[in-house]
C-alpha cells in the first residue's frame, strides 16, 4: 500500500506523537508498505508562538496537493490539526479524496492551559477539522467516548507500543542516581505548562525528584525548584537507564490522550503514579500504577507495587499490534466528505 502521512509533528521534535509516528512508519515499511511522510522539515517554517521548539510549516494547499498526487497514495492519513494537516484536509476535500485523521492530544485542554480560555472554546474547531474524516484514530476507550459525545462517531482504535529491546529493567542507572536520596521520583516528557509538571515538583513525598526533557518552561522551573535534578533531553539507552533506575514514574499531565512514557517506564519495571484522568485510567492497572487526585498519595501507593508486574503489563503493548490497528483504520469504510 502507498500511504501519504501528513504531520505537523516530526523530528527534531521529541514527543510522544513523533515517537509513535516514527515507530509505526518503521513497522509499516518493514512490512513492505510505501510510506511517504510530509512534515515541517520539508518547508519554510516559523516558530510556534510561545513554543519556539515547534516549527509551523508555511505550506499552501497546492504544494501539499502536488506531493500527495505525486505519491499516488492508496491512503492519506492526516496526523495533526496544524498547518500541514489543514492544507492536506483542504486538498483532499477539494478532490473528493477520502482520508483518515488522528486525535493525539487533548487539544482543547492543551490550548486552554496555554491561553487561559476555556476548553469549550476550542471544541468547534476540533469538530470541524475531524468531521469529514473517514476514521478518527484514537488511543483509548475514554477518548473514543469523548469524541462520540462531541458528535464524531467515526472513531477507530489505534493503541501504542513499546520496544522491549530498548526499554527493559537490565540497565545500569545513571551515575547521578547512586548519589540521590531514595526514593527517586522521575518525570519524562516535554517541560511545558500543559504537562502540569509543577504539580509533581510541588509534591512533598520524601526522596529526590528528577526531570528528563526539554521545553519552554525549563529555565523557569530550574530557578523555581533548585533542589530538583533537571537532566535535559535523554534518548535511547540513556533514557531507558533513567526509567530503570527510578523508584516511581510520576505522570502529572491531565491533557494527554495516552502517555507513551508510562508504558516505557513500566517496561523498565518502574511503577507509575498519576491522576485518575484520560491516559492513566486507560493504561494503568492496580498492579502497575496508582492514581489519586492527591499526587503524594499516588506516589506513596505506587512505591509499594511489584516491579515484575509492571514489566508484564508493558509487554501487552507492541508496535506490531499498533501498526495492525493503524492499517485496519486506513481500510475503514469511507464517509461522505463534507467541508
Helix 260-267 vs helix 236-245: crossing angle, to nearest 10: 70
Distance between CA atoms of residues 6 and 36, nearest Å? 8
Distance between CA atoms of residues 148 and 300, nearest Å? 36
- Domain membership flag for residue 78: yes
pLDDT band at residue 52, thresholds of 50, 70 and 90? low
Check whether 228 has a pLDDT greater than 60: yes
- Domain membership flag for residue 339: no
- Domain membership flag for residue 335: no
- Domain membership flag for residue 113: yes
Structural domain count, the chain: 2
Find the mean pLDDT for residues 215-220: 94
Average pLDDT along the chain: 92
Check whether 106 has a pLDDT greater than 80: yes
Distance between CA atoms of residues 33 and 269, nearest Å? 34
Kindly state the DSSP code that residue 150 receives in the 8-state scheme.
Answer: T
**Residues whose CB is less than 8 angstroms from the CB of residue 112 and which lie 6 or more positions away in sequence, other chains included:** 118, 119, 121, 122
| pLDDT at residue 59, rounded to an integer | 76
Is 193 in the same domain as 145? no
Domain that holds residue 78: 2-161+319-330
Is 134 in the same domain as 282? no
- In 10 A of CB 117, how many CB atoms? 12
- Candidates 20, 118, 109, 7; CA nearest to 54 is 7
| pLDDT at residue 13, rounded to an integer | 83
Is 230 in the same domain as 251? yes
Angle CA 125–325–55, to nearest 5: 45
Is 156 in the same domain as 8? yes
Is 128 in the same domain as 258? no
Q: Where are the alpha helices (DSSP H) in 72-183?
A: 83-95, 107-115, 123-130, 141-149
| pLDDT at residue 295, rounded to an integer | 98
Check whether 339 has a pLDDT greater than 50: no
Q: Provide the CATH number for the domain around residue 115.
A: 3.40.50.2000
Handedness of CA 46, 77, 188, 254 (dihedral sign): positive
- Answering whether pTM is above 0.85, one says yes
- Domain membership flag for residue 263: yes
Q: Are 239 and 259 in contact (CB under 8 A)?
A: no
pLDDT, tens digit, for every residue of 125-176? Answer: 999 999 999 999 999 999 999 999 999 999 999 999 999 999 999 999 999 9
Is 326 in the same domain as 211? no
- Domain membership flag for residue 169: no
Is 239 in the same domain as 128? no
| pLDDT at residue 334, rounded to an integer | 43
27 φψ region: left (φ > 0), alpha (ψ -120 to 50), beta (else): alpha
- Domain membership flag for residue 128: yes
> Between the CA atoms of 8, 37, 335 and 140, what dihedral angle is there, to the nearest 10 degrees?
-60
Radius of gyration of the chain (CA): 20
Check whether 320 has a pLDDT greater than 70: yes
Is 42 in the same domain as 184? no
Between 242 and 60, name the one with better pLDDT: 242
Is 270 in the same domain as 324? no
| pLDDT at residue 61, rounded to an integer | 67
pLDDT band at residue 212, thresholds of 50, 70 and 90? very high
**Residues whose CB is less than 8 angstroms from the CB of residue 193 and which lie 6 or more positions away in sequence, other chains included:** 113, 114, 216, 217
Is 155 in the same domain as 226? no
Is 77 in the same domain as 145? yes
pLDDT, tens digit, for every residue of 239-281? Answer: 999 999 999 999 999 989 899 999 999 999 999 999 999 999 9
pLDDT, tens digit, for every residue of 163-187? Answer: 999 999 999 999 999 999 999 999 9
- Domain membership flag for residue 337: no
Residue appearing with cell numbers 497546492: 62
What is the DSSP annotation of 267-279? HTT--EEE-SSTT
> Between the CA atoms of 123, 51, 186 and 312, what dihedral angle is there, to the nearest 10 degrees?
50
Is 245 in the same domain as 130? no
pLDDT band at residue 58, thresholds of 50, 70 and 90? confident
Q: Are 302 and 290 in contact (CB under 8 A)?
A: yes
| pLDDT at residue 152, rounded to an integer | 97
Find the mean pLDDT for residues 9-15: 85
What is the DSSP annotation of 257-306? SS-HHHHHHHHTT--EEE-SSTTHHHH--TTTEEE-SSHHHHHHHHTTS-
Check whether 74 has a pLDDT greater than 90: yes
Q: Are 295 and 252 in contact (CB under 8 A)?
A: yes
Amino acid at each position: 500500500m502507498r500511504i501519504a502521512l501528513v504531520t505537523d509533528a516530526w523530528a527534531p521534535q521529541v514527543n510522544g506523537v513523533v515517537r509513535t509516528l516514527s515507530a509505526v512508519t518503521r513497522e509499516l515499511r518493514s512490512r513492505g508498505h510505501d510510506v511517504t511522510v510530509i512534515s515541517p522539515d520539508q518547508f519554510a517554517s516559523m516558530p510556534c508562538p510561545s513554543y519556539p521548539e515547534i516549527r509551523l510549516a508555511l505550506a499552501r494547499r497546492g504544494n501539499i496537493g502536488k506531493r500527495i498526487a505525486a505519491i499516488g497514495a492508496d491512503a492519506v492519513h492526516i496526523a495533526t490539526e496544524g498547518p500541514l494537516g489543514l492544507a492536506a484536509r483542504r486538498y483532499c476535500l477539494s478532490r473528493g479524496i477520502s482520508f483518515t485523521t488522528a486525535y493525539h492530544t487533548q487539544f482543547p485542554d492543551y490550548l486552554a492551559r496555554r491561553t487561559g480560555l476555556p476548553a469549550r472554546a476550542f471544541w468547534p474547531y476540533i469538530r470541524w477539522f475531524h468531521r469529514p474524516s473517514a476514521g478518527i484514530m484514537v488511543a483509548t476507550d475514554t477518548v473514543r467516548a469523548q469524541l462520540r459525545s462531541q458528535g464524531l462517531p467515526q472513531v477507530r482504535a489505534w493503541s501504542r507500543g513499546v520496544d522491549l529491546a530498548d526499554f527493559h529493567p537490565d540497565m545500569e542507572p545513571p551515575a547521578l542516581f547512586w548519589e540521590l536520596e531514595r526514593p527517586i521520583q522521575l518525570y519524562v516528557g516535554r517541560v511545558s505548562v500543559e504537562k502540569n509538571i509543577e504539580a509533581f515538583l510541588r509534591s512533598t513525598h520524601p526522596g529526590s525528584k528528577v526531570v528528563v526533557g526539554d521545553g519552554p518552561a525549563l529555565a523557569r522551573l530550574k530557578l523555581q525548584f533548585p533542589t530538583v535534578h533537571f537532566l535535559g533531553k535523554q534518548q535511547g539507552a540513556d533514557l531507558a537507564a533513567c526509567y530503570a533506575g527510578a523508584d516511581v514514574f510520576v505522570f502529572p499531565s491531565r491533557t494527554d490522550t495516552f502517555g507513551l512514557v508510562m508504558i516505557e517506564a513500566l517496561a523498565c519495571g518502574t511503577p507509575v503514579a498519576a491522576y485518575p484522568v484520560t491516559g492513566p485510567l486507560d493504561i494503568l492497572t492496580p498492579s502497575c500504577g496508582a492514581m489519586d487526585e492527591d499526587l503524594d498519595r499516588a506516589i506513596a501507593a505506587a512505591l509499594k507495587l511489584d516491579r515484575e508486574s509492571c514489566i508484564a503489563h508493558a509487554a501487552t503493548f507492541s508496535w506490531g499490534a499498533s501498526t495492525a490497528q493503524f492499517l485496519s483504520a486506513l481500510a475503514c469504510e469511507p464517509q461522505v466528505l463534507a467541508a
